[in-house]
Structure 1
Amino acid sequence: MKTHIYVDGFNLYYRAVKGTKYKWLDLNALCQKLLPKARIERLNYYTARVAARPNDPGQPTRQDTYFRALRTIPHLRIIEGNFISKPARLPLSDNLNKIVSVLRTEEKGSDVNLASHLVHDGHMGEYEQAIVITNDSDLAEPIRIVRDELRLNVGILCPSKYLNPQLKAVITFAKPIRAGVIQASQFPETLLDAVGQFHKPTEWR
C-alpha cells in the first residue's frame, strides 16, 4: 500500500529518545521494521532548529549532523518550524505570590505544517495510507478529517507507553514504538554523502 510517513520530530524525541543513547535514529529503518508490508514513498520529518545553550553549546552542531544523516534517506524531507523566545512574568512554583521575569521559548509551526501536509496530500490522492509518528492530541482533528472525510487509512506509530485517547478515537490502527526497535534502527556510526564522510556525534556514543 502506498504510504506516506509524517514524523512529529519533537514528540518522538521527548517521548522515546531523550535520555537514551539511541539518538542516531534511522527513521526509514524504524518505519520499515514496524510496517514491513507498507510501500513507503515519502517520509516527512517536522522539527525546528535548536539554539546553543550555555550548558550545551554543541547542541546545534549535533542537530545539523543528524539532519545530514537523515538526508541520506532519498525519500525523506525535513520541514522546519521555528522557536520563538519572548519574556513572560510567572509565579515561582514554591511561592505563588512572587512573580519573576523569565524567557519563555516555544516551538511554532511543526504541528501546523504536519497537519496541513497530511490533509493536503490525502486530498490530492498522493497516498493510500498515512502514518503519523506522534502522541500529540492536537493532531486528532486533521487525522479525523483524513480518515472520516477522505476515507483513507491513518495509523499511528506511538512513541509513548500509552496512546492518547483522543488519537485512539480517530485512527485506523496504532503500533507502539518500543525501545528495542529504536535500538535496532540506528544509522551506522560512519555515513557518506555527497560532501564526504561524517560520523555519529561523540556525545551520542
Structure 2
Amino acid sequence: MNTRVYIDGYNLYYGCLKKSPYKWLDLKALFESQILPSVYHENSTPQLLNQGIKFFTAKIVEKAALDTNSTKDQETYHNALQKHLGDDLCLYEGYYAVNKVHVYQVQGNTLPRDCDRVEIWKLEEKQSDVNLATEALFDVVTQQDLEQIVYVSNDTDIAASMIKVREYNKIRVIQGWSQVRIGLVIPTKPATDPDDEETRRANKTLSELADWTVKHITKEWLEKSQLPHKVPNGRRPATIPTSWHPESEMFALVMEELGKVHSLSESWQWLATTKPNIDGLIDLTLVTPLDALRTTEGAIGVYDHAKAYVEYKINKQN
C-alpha cells in the first residue's frame, strides 16, 4: 500500500520529544519500521512513496529561545535529517511570530472581563498546520498511485482536510483510482498518569475521521529510531548535539577527555571503533563506544576507557 506520512513537527516535539533523549529522531525509521508495522500484519506493511515523509516545522526564534544553543541544534538536526533521508524526506518550514499582546491576568475567581490587563510576549507558530493540511489534500487529488495518507497531529485544524479527503475519495472511484485510506498517529506519550498535564489524549473528532488511529508513540519506538550519531554532510558532518545525547553529561565528559589528545574528528573516530579487551574495563570488543554510550552503565564504562586511553597516550608522548 503506497503511503505518505505528514508530520506536524510542533505537535511531535511537545507531545513526545521535549525533555526526552530521543530528539535525534529518524522519522522514516520510526514510521517504516515501528509504527506502520504495528498497525498492519507483516506481510502487508505499507510502502513509503518517494518523499514518503513530509515534515512540517518552523525555525526557532533566537530571541525567544530558552536555550542559546536551540537554533543551532535545530539546524543541525534538520541538516542531518535531509542528508540521511535524501529523497525520502520533504521538509516544509513555516515561521514563529513573536508579538507583544495584552491579555487578562488571572486574579483568583474574578471574571476575565474584570481582571487587569497585562502585556506579554506571545510566541505563535505560523503556517505549519495549514501547509500540512493543504499538502495532504493536494496529494490525494493529484497522485493516482497514493493509497494511504497518515496524519501525525492532535490538532483539530486538520479535521477539515480529513473530511475533504473522505469526500474526494468518491471522485477517485469515478476516476478509476483507488480510495485513499486515512491513518492518524497522535504524537503523545503513553499515559502513565491520567492527571498528568503533559499527557495529551487522542482527539476524538480526528479519530472518528480516520480509518485507524495510533493513540501514542512509545519510548521503545523512539529509542529504536535514532539517527546515527554522526551523519555525513560534506566536509562538516552533522553530529548529535551534546545535550541531545541519551547520556548527555557522561558524553560531554568523554568528549572533554578525548579532546586532551585528539581533535574533534579524531575523537569521533575513536568513539566509532571497537576497542581491545583491557582487564578491569568494560568490554568494547564487539560494541563501539558510541553504542555503549546509550546506557548509563555503558557510558560510565566508556568514560573509564577514555581516561585510560588518554593517560596511555600522554605517557607515551612523554
Name the TM-score, length of structure 2 as normaliser: 0.61
**Equivalent-residue separation in structure 2 for 1:61 and 1:135 (angstroms):** 27
Does structure 2 retain, via aligned residues, the 8 Å contact 1:44–1:79?
yes
Q: From the superposition, tell whether residues 23 and 54 of structure 1 become closer, same or farther in structure 2 (CA, over 3 Å).
A: closer
Letter in 2 for 1:87: K
User: 1:200 pairs with 240, 259, 262, which one?
Assistant: 240
Q: CA deviation at 1:139?
A: 0.7
Instruction: Please say which of residues 29-38 and 48-57 is displaced more in the overlay.
Output: 48-57
User: 1:46 pairs with 56, 74, 78, which one?
Assistant: 56
Q: CA deviation at 1:169?
A: 1.0
Query: Number of matched residues?
Result: 205
Q: CA deviation at 1:189?
A: 1.1
**Equivalent-residue separation in structure 1 for 2:213 and 2:5 (angstroms):** 13
The residue that corresponds to 2:106 in the other structure is 93
**Equivalent-residue separation in structure 1 for 2:25 and 2:141 (angstroms):** 30
> Is the partner of 1:163 in helix, strand or coil?
coil
> Which of these two proteins has the greater Rg computed from alpha carbons?
2
1:134 matched to 2:146: no
The residue that corresponds to 2:71 in the other structure is 60
Judging by fraction of residues, say which structure has more strand. Answer: 1
Q: CA deviation at 1:25?
A: 0.7
**Equivalent-residue separation in structure 2 for 1:112 and 1:124 (angstroms):** 18
Q: CA deviation at 1:193?
A: 2.3
- Unpaired runs of 5+ in structure 2? 38-44, 170-178, 191-200, 246-318
Q: CA deviation at 1:197?
A: 2.0
User: 2:210 pairs with 171, 194, 200, which one?
Assistant: 171
Q: CA deviation at 1:101?
A: 1.1
Letter in 2 for 1:59: S
Q: CA deviation at 1:94?
A: 3.8
Q: From the superposition, tell whether residues 94 and 141 of structure 1 become closer, same or farther in structure 2 (CA, over 3 Å).
A: same
Q: CA deviation at 1:54?
A: 6.5
Give the superposed CA RMSD.
Answer: 1.6
Q: From the superposition, tell whether residues 54 and 140 of structure 1 become closer, same or farther in structure 2 (CA, over 3 Å).
A: closer
The residue that corresponds to 2:267 in the other structure is none
Q: CA deviation at 1:14?
A: 0.4
Letter in 1 for 2:48: I
Letter in 1 for 2:102: R
- Unpaired runs of 5+ in structure 1? none
Does structure 2 retain, via aligned residues, the 8 Å contact 1:51–1:59?
no
Letter in 2 for 1:158: I
Q: From the superposition, tell whether residues 159 and 79 of structure 1 become closer, same or farther in structure 2 (CA, over 3 Å).
A: same
After superposition, give the CA deviation of every residue in 1:84-143 in whole Å (9 maximum; x if it has no partner): 122111122346633211121211100110011100000012511001111111111201
1:77 matched to 2:90: yes
Does structure 2 retain, via aligned residues, the 8 Å contact 1:46–1:79?
yes
Q: From the superposition, tell whether residues 163 and 30 of structure 1 become closer, same or farther in structure 2 (CA, over 3 Å).
A: same
User: 2:141 pairs with 123, 130, 133, which one?
Assistant: 123
Q: CA deviation at 1:55?
A: 4.0
The answer to which structure, 1 or 2, has the higher relative contact order (CA under 8 A, 6+ apart) is 1
Deviating 4+ runs (over 3 angstroms)? none
**Equivalent-residue separation in structure 1 for 2:208 and 2:100 (angstroms):** 37
After superposition, give the CA deviation of every residue in 1:145-176 in whole Å (9 maximum; x if it has no partner): 21343241010122124321010110011123
Does structure 1 retain, via aligned residues, the 8 Å contact 2:141–2:168?
no
